[in-house]
Chains A and B, each alone.
Chain A
Amino acid sequence: MTIVRTFEDARDRINASDTLYRYCSTVDQKDFVGLRTVLAEDARMRFCLGGTWNEWVEGADAIVAWVDKMTADRGFQHHLLSVYHVDIEGDQASALAYLTSHQVAADDPDQVMQMSSRYRNLLRRDGDGWVITQIELEVGWVEIRTFDQSQAIG
Chain B
Amino acid sequence: MNVITNVITAADVVDRLAVEETLHRYWSHIDAGNFTAVRALFTDDARGRYWGGQWLDGGDAVVEWLINVSAPALFMHHMGKVYRVGIDGDRATAHSHITAHITLRDAPETVVVSVGNYFDELRRADGGWKISVKDFSQGWSEARS
Q: Does A78 contact B (CB under 8 A)?
A: yes
Instruction: Give residues in A with beta carbon < 8 Å to B.
Output: 7, 10-11, 14-15, 18-19, 21-22, 24-25, 37-38, 76-82, 100, 102, 104, 112, 127-129, 145, 147, 149, 151-154
Contact B99 A100 (CB under 8 A): yes
Residues on B with beta carbons closer than 8 Å to the beta carbon of A152: 138, 140-143
Interface range on chain B: under 10, 10 to 19, 20 to 34, or 35 or more?
20 to 34
By DSSP majority rule, is chain B's interface helix, strand, loop, or mixed? strand
Q: A80-B97, A80-B99 are contacts. A21–B81 as well, Cβ < 8 Å? A: yes
Cβ contact within 8 Å between B140 and A112: yes
Stretch touching chain A among B24-32, B33-41, B112-120:
B112-120
CA distance A78 to B117 in the complex (A): 8
Main secondary structure of the interface of A (DSSP, over half): mixed
Q: Which residues of B contact A (CB under 8 A)?
A: 4-8, 10, 12-13, 16, 50-51, 79, 81, 83-84, 95, 97-99, 102, 112, 114-117, 138-143
- Whether B13 pairs with A104 at a CB distance below 8 angstroms is no
Whether the pair B7, A153 counts as a contact (CB closer than 8 A) is no
Query: In the complex, are the beta carbons of B6 and A21 less than 8 A apart?
Result: no
